[in-house]
Amino acid sequence: MDLEFEKNKDHNSLLLNELEQLMGTIKKGGGKARLEKIKTAGKMTARERIDYLVDAKAPVHEIGGFAAHGMYEEDGGCPSAGVVVVLSKVAERWCVIVANDASVKAGAWFPMTAKKNLRAQEIALENKIPIIYLVDSAGVYLPMQDEIFPDKDDFGRIFRNNAQLSSAGVVQIAAVMGSCVAGGAYLPIMSDEAIIVDGSASIFLAGSYLVKAAIGETIDNETLGGATTHTAISGVGDYKAVNDHDALDRIRQLMGKMGAVPQAGFSKVEPKAPKTSPETILGLLPAQNNKPYDTFSILDCLVDEGSVEEYKADYGKSLITAYARIDGWAVGIVANQRKMVKNAKGELQFGGVIYSDSADKATRFIANCNQRKIPLVFLQDVTGFMVGSKAEHGGIIKDGAKMVNAVANSVVPKFTVVMGNSFGAGNYAMCGRAYDPRMMVAWPNAKLAVMGGQQAANVLLQIEKSKLKKEGKKISAAKENELLQRIEQRYEKQTKPLYAAARLWTDAIISPSATRSWISSGIAMANNAPIEKQFNMGVLQV
């Protein structure tokens, strides 16, 4: 390999290692002392519960591991938003597992906790796969109640989704393994079946202290809402478990007795390894996101060898559209070509930019995949649509709108990988979060923003200079440079993948070598949800 490859590999490996180290710290939740306190009480930690529950050799994909990172520092932080969410198999069946982390503020709900739970329910609903709740939470984090309680996508939406999931026939199993109080008490009881651990778990709308204050009744928490009370007296719980292990074993038994479900019928054959090792991607991706590279070299690391059939190879070359297979699954790939290309007229087109011809090609290809029931995979490294008089006169807005329309109305499962840049309307056309990909993951070098940092900083600088001029203030060259650097640094921080992952704009930051596994698992889950809608793009400006 050449020197450039090794430099790229070192740079990207360092980014990946930094994220892995941070994730290692996040997995410690509220810290060693709090985790030990949970174990001393005879309970398992959230991650121990998940490890015990999932099938031994099943893939485990964590959703929102970086959620809330750096967002609640004044309140002591909230690692992983105080809840662990994974996609894996239990009794050989794909499911979503949601486990409150009681080591983080006693499992209290922050605003991002609600958002993460809603994302978990969304995944279960759109893929028609069971969702398992491992409940151990003190309820809403009261200092931030105004940001979690009243709005459409806040705490109450969780219970609305419980009802919607049940109506859609999506199995919900809850195991109450610790506190389950106030409004949070509705979650397990709105599930299909509820297990409660004897001695360490309780369910009530108001604890003993509040009951005393409200109505003057003196009662202990166990009598008020313990396992015996709810399985023998109130009928709120369905099963009483001896301990955490017993509760988790019961979940496995329930999952193992479920019957077969209808399948979407996506094409799957015997998998083949890629032509090039996925590990090679770290050396192929430039250390600087503005440098070109041939996206086909990345495809060689992701798709099954010999499976690529490129659609309209000589037209709209700034986008690659191709049928292929990933781990045996048939997919339609829409990928930004990051090297400079020439169109049929011999004109150079910038890598990573979407032109009218490439948008037109992508629209047709997406329609084909929908007609043939082929899941779509979007590989983003896009700086946006082409601008300028030539592009505008050529109808770039119209062609871009057609592509966005096709993505928005697509009925087959979509999966998005942010390989590098994800800027502006390019994010939308390449199936950003707003366009409902079943999964959206980013590589460690990814950047998500309205535009690149340097361009944005120059725009913001001009705005700042104009403001100062109106105030009658002058700005020196040195001051202008200092201001530019400060704006650039602030903006760059907001474009990093960790910033996006903290806010759940992406589901995870992953190693490029794990991409095949994520997409394969995603399609396997999506295969549990037969497609019920017809693809229809509605009215278009043709």
Give the 3-state secondary structure of 3-29. HHHHHHHHHHHHHHHHHHHHHHHHCCC
- What's residue 272's pLDDT? 98
Q: Which residue has the tokens 């939406």?
A: 157
Q: What is the dihedral of CA 285, 291, 295, 300, to 10 degrees?
A: -30
Q: Are the beta carbons of 70 and 64 closer than 8 angstroms?
A: no
Q: Are the beta carbons of 86 and 60 closer than 8 angstroms?
A: yes
Give the 3-state secondary structure of 517-537. HHHHHHHHHHCCCCCCCCCCC
Supply φ then ψ for residue 318, to 5 degrees. -75, -10
Distance between alpha carbon 99 and the CA centroid of its chain, in Å?
A: 17
pLDDT along the chain (542 residues), means of 10: 91 97 97 95 96 97 97 93 98 97 93 96 98 92 84 88 95 94 81 94 83 85 88 92 98 96 96 98 95 97 98 96 98 96 87 94 98 98 91 89 96 98 94 97 93 68 74 76 78 89 97 98 98 86 58
Q: Which of 189, 179, 80 has the alpha carbon at shortest distance from 139? A: 179
DSSP per residue, 451-501: S-HHHHHHHHHHHHHHHHHHTT----HHHHHHHHHHHHHHHHHHHSHHHHH
Q: Which of 358, 457, 366, 450 has the alpha carbon at shortest distance from 412? A: 366
Q: Which of 121, 119, 109, 113 has the alpha carbon at shortest distance from 163? A: 121
**Amino acid present at 415:** F
Q: Which of 28, 25, 109 has the alpha carbon at shortest distance from 75? A: 109
Is the dihedral angle over the CA atoms 441, 444, 450, 451 positive or is it negative? negative
DSSP per residue, 94-148: EEEEEEE-TTTGGGPBPHHHHHHHHHHHHHHHHHT--EEEEEEE--B-GGGGGGT
Q: Are the beta carbons of 196 and 237 closer than 8 angstroms?
A: yes
CA distance 149 to 219: 28
- What's residue 542's pLDDT? 57
Give the predicted TM-score (pTM) of the model: 0.93
Largest CA distance in the chain: 85
- What's residue 103's pLDDT? 96
The neighbouring-strand residues paired with 133 are 98, 174
- What's residue 148's pLDDT? 84
CA distance 362 to 311: 9
CA distance 291 to 251: 50
- What's residue 501's pLDDT? 97
What does the block give as tokens for 41? Answer: 């009480």
**Distance of CA 49 to CAs 249, 330, 388, Å?**
11, 35, 56
DSSP per residue, 264-311: ----B------SS-GGGHHHHS-SSTTS---HHHHHHHHSPTT--EES
What does the block give as tokens for 498? Answer: 């960790």
Where helices occur in 276-412 by DSSP H, the ranges are 281-284, 295-302, 356-372, 389-393, 396-409
Supply φ then ψ for residue 151, to 5 degrees. -85, 175
Q: Which residue has the tokens 């082409």?
A: 386
- What's residue 474's pLDDT? 74
For the chain, what is the total number of helices (H) and then of strands (E)?
Answer: 20, 20
Supply φ then ψ for residue 193, to 5 degrees. -140, 145
The neighbouring-strand residues paired with 349 are 341
- What's residue 496's pLDDT? 93
CA distance 326 to 258: 29
**Amino acid present at 59:** P
What does the block give as tokens for 328? Answer: 């045996």
SS3 403: helix
Within 13 Å of residue 355, how many CA atoms lie on the same side as its CB?
A: 23
SS3 149: coil
Supply φ then ψ for residue 317, to 5 degrees. -70, -10
What does the block give as tokens for 509? Answer: 């930051």
CA distance 244 to 50: 11
